[in-house]
Structure 1
Amino acid sequence: MHDDEIDLVDIARVLLRRKWWIIGTFLVVTLGALAYGLQQQRVYAYTTSIELGEFGPEEFVAGAASTASTISDRILLSTKRAFLQERDLESMPFDVSVNTPEESSFVNLVSEAPLEDQSLVAEFHKRVFERLRDEHQSRLSIMENQSDAKLKNLRSALETQEKRLSMLEELSVIRNKGSGDEGNVRAEARSGEENMQAELASTDAALTMLLSQLQLSERISEREQAMNELQGEIRDEETKRSWIKPTRAEDVAVASLSPVGTSRALIAVLGAILGGMLGLFMAFMVEFVAKVRESE
């Protein structure tokens, strides 16, 4: 039972006897990791932010999510094919990812590549952006044509309402004049006690004129309300027309301030840790082999 216990002194003696194995393994692995890190090219992230076109405040030509899907599923594929054929390449020297920040009107193209490939990344991002801009410009043109037709109809309807309102106002003036003349007739009828029938006819005519005047006032009010609504719709549509913004990208393939990916320092640290662990493993393995040989 006593022989199964781990003796720390014996472990320390093993480590001292096999120290050169530990040191050698540590140095080999650490120097290998350092050499690997130094051979790795510094890779930077290049970002192109595309702002979606607008046709009126908060009314975009296309949604950010649908635009990202369009780029990933269709535009990237055809653009890559043409890019590879022009440059006689078998595969793309870098990848392109598409992301959309939450609740924003931006779509980002992101690629990781060395500094010497920045011009290639910029050219490819520019082609993708131009394809998307052309598609959105076509949609903007359609929306402009629809807006022109809508404005034309609204202005025509407003002009019709204005004419009808003018006619009703003229009719109201004529009715008022007629009402005044009828009052004179009624006064004359009252002066002649012998003409009772004329007085009754005058009273009926006055009531009829009063009802007609109330109906005219109601129609005039309805026309004015309809005109106000049409004028509001025209102002809203004109505001949209003044807010037209095409899809745009201010900067193409902007490089990150520092390299991305695993840094050389981290590779060296991980190599040192791995070298120490392998060194201890090699020390005990060599000691074990030596014990086996002695027992034989």
Structure 2
Amino acid sequence: MNESSPQQTHYDDEISLVDLAKILIKRWKTMAVIFIVVVLAALAYALLQPRTYSYTSLYGVAEQGPYDALESPEALVAKAQSLYVGPETRELLDSLGLQNLPFSIEIENPEETLLVSLTSQAAETHVEAVTQLHEGVLARLKESQQAMVKRRKEALERQLQSAKATLDAAKQSDSMGAAEVVAGVMGRIAGLEASLVELREGEISQTAVQSLNPTGTSRTLILALGIVLGGMLAVLGAFFMQFAGLVCKSLKEDA
């Protein structure tokens, strides 16, 4: 008889699926309260969280010919990151009276394009600051490119003027090779004139255009995660309350 008591105690400590179901049914009010509280907290967080959008600006680089950049987009990206973003950010912070901007700016060259893109993810309340920062960086890019286009144009015009002077001299020459010189110089003049025509300044395609859809975690996903978390915490809460109740009962019996 004594040998069977440990085995009997072992069986009494086991919890079956029926016992678990009984606990959940018995503690349904606790589960309901925990579930509702968690879901309401998730809903409040989803509704109060500011909607974040992506704002994109595009700059088309200056070209010296069809699909032939006067300055590579990669070089412009590096220049903007190292020379332009810092000063423009400091000016914006001073004007707004802030220590740090509530958003960042990413500058890159989309693959297989002659574009430089500026992208920031920010709440709608910060759209003016985003626009101001993008406009400042774009203005510096355009100013730098305009200076480069101007230098290139002046160089081409000097070469064209020199070629025309050479052509006039060749036409007045009576040498046997004058005709070949004239033909060569005319070809060069045609090439220089074509280069001047094809030379195109960079342009700002768009400034801080807002994305159609919000970025980041959607409100629906937050609510769905709240429902799942609420269900898990409700079950765990029911078991914890049952455990706490048994502990209190055992302490009273010992007392």
User: Deviation at 1:80?
Assistant: 0.9
Question: Which TM-score applies when normalising by structure 1?
Answer: 0.73
Consecutive aligned runs of 4 or more in structure 1 exceeding 6 Å deviation: none
Instruction: Give structure 1 stretches of 5+ with no counterpart.
Output: 169-219
Q: Is the 8 A contact 1:49 1:251 kept in 2?
A: yes
Whose relative contact order is higher, 1 or 2, with alpha carbons under 8 Å and at least 6 apart? 1
Question: Which TM-score applies when normalising by structure 2?
Answer: 0.84
Alignment of 1:3-18 (within 5 A): 3=11, 7-18=16-27
In structure 2, which of residues 146, 160, 164 is the aligned counterpart of residue 155 of structure 1? 164
CA distance in 2, matches of 1:86, 1:54: 35
Q: Which residue of 2 aligns with 1:167?
A: 175
CA distance in 2, matches of 1:145, 1:97: 34
CA distance in 2, matches of 1:64, 1:131: 14
- Structure with a larger share of its residues in strand: 2
Cα deviation 1:249-270 (Å, max 9, x = unaligned): 1321111112222122211111
Q: Which residue of 2 aligns with 1:288?
A: 243
Q: Which residue of 2 aligns with 1:264?
A: 219
Instruction: Give structure 2 stretches of 5+ with no counterpart.
Output: 1-6
Q: Which residue of 1 aligns with 2:111?
A: 102
Q: Is the 8 A contact 2:67 2:114 kept in 1?
A: no
Q: Which residue of 2 aligns with 1:60?
A: 69
User: Deviation at 1:12?
Assistant: 1.0
| Secondary structure at the counterpart of residue 108 of structure 1 | strand
Q: Percent identity?
A: 30
User: 1:103/1:13 Cα in 2 relative to 1: closer, same or farther (>3 Å)?
Assistant: same
Counterpart code for 1:51: G
1:239 is the counterpart of 2:194? yes
User: Deviation at 1:234?
Assistant: 2.6
User: Deviation at 1:92?
Assistant: 1.8
Larger Rg: 1
Cα deviation 1:106-141 (Å, max 9, x = unaligned): 111112223333233222211111111111111111
Q: Which residue of 2 aligns with 1:179?
A: none
- Structure with a larger share of its residues in helix: 1
Cα RMSD (Å) of the superposition?
2.4
1:135 is the counterpart of 2:90? no
Q: Is the 8 A contact 2:92 2:132 kept in 1?
A: no
1:116 is the counterpart of 2:125? yes
Counterpart code for 1:64: P
